[in-house]
Amino acid sequence: MATLERLDVSHAPALLRFERENRAFFARSVPDRGDGYFAGFDARHAALLAEQAAGTCHFHVLIDDDGEVLGRFNLVDVLDGSAELGFRVAERATGQGVASEGVRRVLGLARDEYGLSRLYASAALDNAASLGVLRRTGFTPAGEVTLEGRPGLRHVRQLTAPD
């Protein structure tokens, strides 16, 4: 069974592998991170850990039994009891409920460990998989947005009761 872990320095090699192996897959539904992301990965990873230590973000990785990253589930821009949820799952894990389960686990952490009461998440209209995950995990549409020039929907999820 996969485990959801708070991001730490030891995850860097597996996380970089995950991002490289899935780069083309991710680019089909979200903007590509660009070559600079990979060239400066170590510095970027350290910066994420610093943000997490400051409490402005909470980063998580879903790890399989072999120690490989199946997905990322991030809470960013933590402020006044709310945060923005972002997630991505490896191509090999799609269609298996991995994204929905990871989001459900993060919802519980957001409420119970981080004291958050509301999460926001956005997805492009042509990203049916992410839109489905958001709806299955209790997010409701809250308005239209533009994501890197693509039309999308912003969603909101109240975290008032255990799931």
Is residue 25 a part of any domain in this protein?
yes
Backbone angles phi, psi at 117, to 5 degrees: -120, -10
Residue 30's pLDDT band, with cuts at 50, 70 and 90, is confident
Q: pLDDT tens digits, residue range 96-152?
A: 999 999 999 999 999 999 999 999 999 999 999 999 999 999 999 999 999 888 899
Is residue 64 a part of any domain in this protein?
yes
Whole domain around residue 22: which residue ranges?
Answer: 3-158
pLDDT score, position 28: 84
The total of structural domains in the chain comes to 1
55 CB-side CA count, 13 A: 8
Beta-strand relationship, 69-79 and 82-89: antiparallel
Query: String of b and e for 25-46 (b: at least 16 CB within 10 Å)?
Result: ebeeebeeeeeeeeeebeebbe
Q: pLDDT tens digits, residue range 42-76?
A: 999 999 999 999 999 999 999 999 999 999 999 99
Do residues 75 and 67 touch, judged by C-beta distance below 8 A?
no
pTM above 0.75, yes or no: yes
Is residue 163 a part of any domain in this protein?
no
In angstroms, the CA 76 to CA 55 distance is 9
In angstroms, the CA 89 to CA 25 distance is 10
Is residue 55 a part of any domain in this protein?
yes
- The CATH number of the domain holding residue 127 is 3.40.630.30
